[in-house]
Amino acid sequence: MKAKKIITIVVTVIASALVVLSGIMKLAAGEEIVSSMGKVGIAAYLVPLALMEISFTALFLYPKTMKIGFILLSCYFAGALATELSHGMPFNALLPISLIWIAAFLRDSSIFLPDPSAKKIFGN
């Protein structure tokens, strides 16, 4: 049980750190970031994208808002993957979204699996 808790914390910290650092890099508006975002036409939106990444991660880290943070981060990185696919870019969003999903599963598996103690809506 202790090993699972440590793994959960480590994966959550790594996933969150990746997203927050990505947001910080966008806020810093480095030359490399601006040029890569300019290729897909979103260089003008670096600050809102950075604020979204950081705020969604904060929601994900706080236990009471973890599920909404998970949904928002999943949607954000799904959009990032779609953008990367449509412009022939490397799949940079694949690692963060994978780690977010793993961390979410380790923190609360009911996000993905039905809760056996919950009453069924239909049937018995």
- At residue 109, the pLDDT reads 86
Confidence category of residue 117, pLDDT binned at 50, 70, 90:
low
Q: Of the candidates 23, 57, 18, which has an alpha carbon nearest to the alpha carbon of residue 37?
A: 23
Q: Of the candidates 86, 16, 92, which has an alpha carbon nearest to the alpha carbon of residue 55?
A: 16
Confidence category of residue 120, pLDDT binned at 50, 70, 90:
low
pLDDT digits (tens, 9 = 90+) for 97-108: 999 999 999 999
User: Is the Cβ–Cβ distance between 72 and 59 less than 8 Å?
Assistant: yes
- At residue 81, the pLDDT reads 93
Token pair for residue 8?
């959960």
Q: How does the average pLDDT of the chain come out, rounded?
A: 90
81/18 Cα distance (integer angstroms): 16
- At residue 65, the pLDDT reads 95
